[in-house]
Amino acid sequence: MINIAERHQLILNKLVKEDFVSVLGLCKELDVSPVTIRKDLKLLEEKNLLFKTHGGATLQNPYTIDRPVNEKEAIRSSEKLRIGETAAKLVNDNDSLIIGSGTTVLALARSLQTKLNLTVITAALNVAIELNRHPNIEILQLGGTMRKSSSSVTGSYAEQILRDFYCNKLFLGVDGIDLEHGLTTTNSTEAQLNREMIKVSQKTIVLVDSSKFGKRGFGKICAIDEIDHIITDSGILPSTLAALEGMGVKVTVV
């Protein structure tokens, strides 16, 4: 049996080649227990040599950072457009919706059919402006403290307004989805508002491009089993897709 130093070096070499290692895969290759591998990964993470993730480790930092909305809009724009167009097909005449903040839900707002009669509650100023050109859509813009990086409001006033309503669908954008840590965003007050949105919605539909899987933001929104449906692109790993469906979440890949 190889010693701990040799084991650590093998793990790091494998990470350089493959970018991700799984606990189970390392157990089989090194003929050690999952407890031993988890201890190895913890020690290596403490030395800033890797990042632990659900079921393994990666060299990529899983923690998200806050970016200006105009910068985020240019990232994976074609994927976000397809996700938004697919989500728009789930909207029916006379629906009452909550639309969260983010560039992927903005793509949904841009894809909605102009003839639909809808009531939409949103915290996002750019979503409200986009929908305002449709005469059949009634918009309730939440009030509160404006986050300039996301062009959306947060705070207790917005949360208080939400408690007076109940909607049949919530379309939510997030900064990270981790199988262990759940759904997260980079801002804690936005996470709290998103939790209130989930409470007053019959169904929660998450719009997220595949780069957000395995990522973690500062503020936790909810656990995986609190959402109903995820719409994402074909970059999602088959193992992640299978895990989500195993948790009872419908996943649509576009």
Fold of 69-253: Rossmann fold (3.40.50)
How sure is the predictor about 222, in pLDDT bands with cuts at 50, 70 and 90? very high
| Pairing assessment for the beta strands 152-154 and 145-147 based on DSSP bridges | antiparallel
Kindly indicate whether the domain formed by 4-58 is annotated with CATH number 1.10.10.10: yes
Q: What is the pLDDT of residue 150?
A: 75
CA angle 73, 118, 123 (to 5 degrees): 45
**Mean pLDDT (whole number) for 26-34:** 90
**Mean pLDDT (whole number) for 215-240:** 93
**Mean pLDDT (whole number) for 199-206:** 98
How sure is the predictor about 73, in pLDDT bands with cuts at 50, 70 and 90? low
**Mean pLDDT (whole number) for 118-128:** 96
Q: What is the pLDDT of residue 46?
A: 87
**Mean pLDDT (whole number) for 119-134:** 95
List the structure tokens of 98. Answer: 């909550």
Does the pLDDT value for residue 94 go beyond 70?
A: yes
Cα–Cα separations (whole angstroms), residue 113 to 32, 105, 124, 133, 147: 57, 15, 19, 12, 28
Token pair 């976000």 is found at 80
Q: Which long-range contacts (CB under 8 A, 24 or more apart) does 192-195 make?
A: 192/154, 192/159, 192/219, 193/123, 193/142, 193/144, 193/154, 193/155, 193/158, 193/159, 193/162, 194/100, 194/221, 194/222, 195/221, 195/222
Does the pLDDT value for residue 249 go beyond 60?
A: yes
Q: Mean pLDDT lowest for which of 70-84, 91-105, 130-144, 239-253? A: 70-84
Share of the chain above pLDDT 90, in %: 63
Residue 178's DSSP bridge partners are: 182
Its pTM stands at: 0.75
Alpha carbon distance 109, 85 (integer Å): 9
**Mean pLDDT of the chain, nearest integer:** 90
Does the pLDDT value for residue 69 go beyond 60?
A: no
N residues, the chain = 254
Does the pLDDT value for residue 53 go beyond 70?
A: yes
Q: What is the pLDDT of residue 72?
A: 56
Q: What is the pLDDT of residue 75?
A: 64
Domain range list for the chain: 4-58, 69-253
Q: What is the pLDDT of residue 214?
A: 87
List, for residues 147-195, the tens digit of each pLDDT value. 877 788 999 999 999 999 999 999 999 999 999 889 999 889 999 999 9
Which has the closest alpha carbon to 235: 109, 24, 78? 78
Alpha carbon distance 227, 203 (integer Å): 7
CB 56 within 8 A of CB 179: no
